[in-house]
Amino acid sequence: VDGPVRQRSLWQHNLALVLRHVSAATPTSRAEVAAATGLTRATVSSLVEDLLRAGLVTEVEPAPRTGAGRPATGLVLSAAGPAGLGLEINVDFLAAAVVDLTGAVRHHVVRRVDQRDRAPERVLADVARMAAEAVGSADLRVAAGSADLRVAAARLAVPGLVDGDGLVRAAPNLGWRDLDVVGPLLAAADWPDLPVTVDNEANLGALGELAAFRQPAASSSASFLYISGEVGIGAGLVLDGALFRGAHGWSGEIGHVTVSPDGPVCRCGARGCLERYAGQEAIMRAAGIACDPALSADMAVARIAELARSSDPAVLDALSDAGTALGIAAAGVVNLLDVDTVVLGGSFAALATWLGSPVERELRERVLTAGWSPIEVRASALGAAATVIGAAGSVVHDLRAAPATWVSTLR
């Protein structure tokens, strides 16, 4: 900022600074935080008081000390206190998860229902019910005497283009257009005060992956392409440790990258999009497996994997073609942006055994720099759960980056 720093923004800044030090080294002490940040002991004590009162940090027994003087009380992030609620609407399932401030997953539920022929209000009412169950879940109760977890905010993942204000511009596989999802969700859930934001499912999956692989030294430099395969295909792009959203927040539509200009017509109206070669239904069609509407996507993926394991030639060919198409699309991204890793997420994680080699082969052949630095291709660490856990985790990430908002609400 160019203007003068006001008292309040100074407090906000220092509060975040102290919390960052507590999260980086556990347990730490007030004296160590003062030494590391350059703040006075008195300022640190006052800020730690604010964080303790808001349930963001907690005190632990001091570690035995060998030197002179009384050992200092330890400070750690609190596993009680505020938590993040993640919610996910996908084409054939709904999911809810709660992640606490330390990053631990405290609740995770998936419900398999095909959402394609359902009215949006009914889908959102189901999500609201799952959210209420998550908030009331027994997993969130902490030992007697300490405070229970409290959901600070919720983030909803949707397979489509989302505007900043919670408007779903288009979710083609659900048939949704220009739909407000936050209003009906809050009405159905009966929490007028809970902050709810909406984001694209692949973006949140990429954030889940980033958190799962976050190592202190590597987090700020991680650059990877996360490809989420469901009925549609989306991607989340992490550049230098941060999600790249693009001008409107619509980056990552890799499903509509052209693989073959003369290919079959896609739902979007163009020809030869990646989704037509590597989407779940495209793989099943190519493998000669009937797209049974009663078969949920994860059952369909399990069926594909089972046939591949038994070396069914049609299925192996279909997966090889899908992997080739994925590799061609991914190579364009790697050539342009110099990411060093391609993560196969969503249902692709369960098929990575067969998709991985053709993707690697195409990257090797098509990426100019592959000879100097091979591109790593791997399955997502969280599999199909990456998105909903990433949604909850991103709430926690925001809370830890800017704790003043939460502390102020309790004042």
Report the amino acid identity of residue 129.
Answer: R
Residue 388 · residue 97 · CB < 8 Å: yes
Residue 272 · residue 252 · CB < 8 Å: no
User: What are the φ/ψ torsions at residue 297 (nearest 5 degrees)?
Assistant: -60, -40
Residue count of the chain: 411
CA dist 267 and 155 (Å) reads: 28
Q: How far is the CB of 256 from Zn ion (least distance, A)?
A: 4
What is the torsional sign of CA 317, 365, 213, 132?
A: negative
Instruction: Give the nearer residue to Zn ion in terms of CB position, either 263 or 383.
Output: 263
Q: β-strands 105-111, 94-100: how paired?
A: antiparallel
CA dihedral 405, 409, 410, 411 (to 10 degrees): 90
Instruction: Give the nearer residue to Zn ion in terms of CB position, either 182 or 257.
Output: 257
Positions in the binding site for Zn ion (CB under 5 A): 256, 266, 268, 270, 273
Instruction: Give the nearer residue to Zn ion in terms of CB position, either 15 or 282.
Output: 282
Instruction: Give the nearer residue to Zn ion in terms of CB position, either 78 or 173.
Output: 173
CA dist 174 and 94 (Å) reads: 13
Instruction: Give the nearer residue to Zn ion in terms of CB position, either 84 or 255.
Output: 255
Residue 109 · residue 139 · CB < 8 Å: no
Q: How far is the CB of 266 from Zn ion (least distance, A)?
A: 3
Q: How far is the CB of 224 from Zn ion (least distance, A)?
A: 23
Q: How far is the CB of 260 from Zn ion (least distance, A)?
A: 12
CA dist 156 and 164 (Å) reads: 12
Instruction: Give the nearer residue to Zn ion in terms of CB position, either 272 or 346.
Output: 272
Q: How far is the CB of 264 from Zn ion (least distance, A)?
A: 10
Q: How far is the CB of 325 from Zn ion (least distance, A)?
A: 12
Q: How far is the CB of 350 from Zn ion (least distance, A)?
A: 24
CA dist 79 and 56 (Å) reads: 8
Nearest residue to 297 (alpha-carbon basis) of 115, 160, 36: 115
Instruction: Give the nearer residue to Zn ion in terms of CB position, either 279 or 390.
Output: 279
Instruction: Give the nearer residue to Zn ion in terms of CB position, either 332 or 383.
Output: 332
Q: How far is the CB of 252 from Zn ion (least distance, A)?
A: 14
Nearest residue to 181 (alpha-carbon basis) of 190, 169, 194: 169
Instruction: Give the nearer residue to Zn ion in terms of CB position, either 47 or 266.
Output: 266
Q: How far is the CB of 269 from Zn ion (least distance, A)?
A: 7
DSSP string, 198-249: EEEHHHHHHHHHHHHT--TTTGGG--EEEEEESSSEEEEEEETTEE---SSS
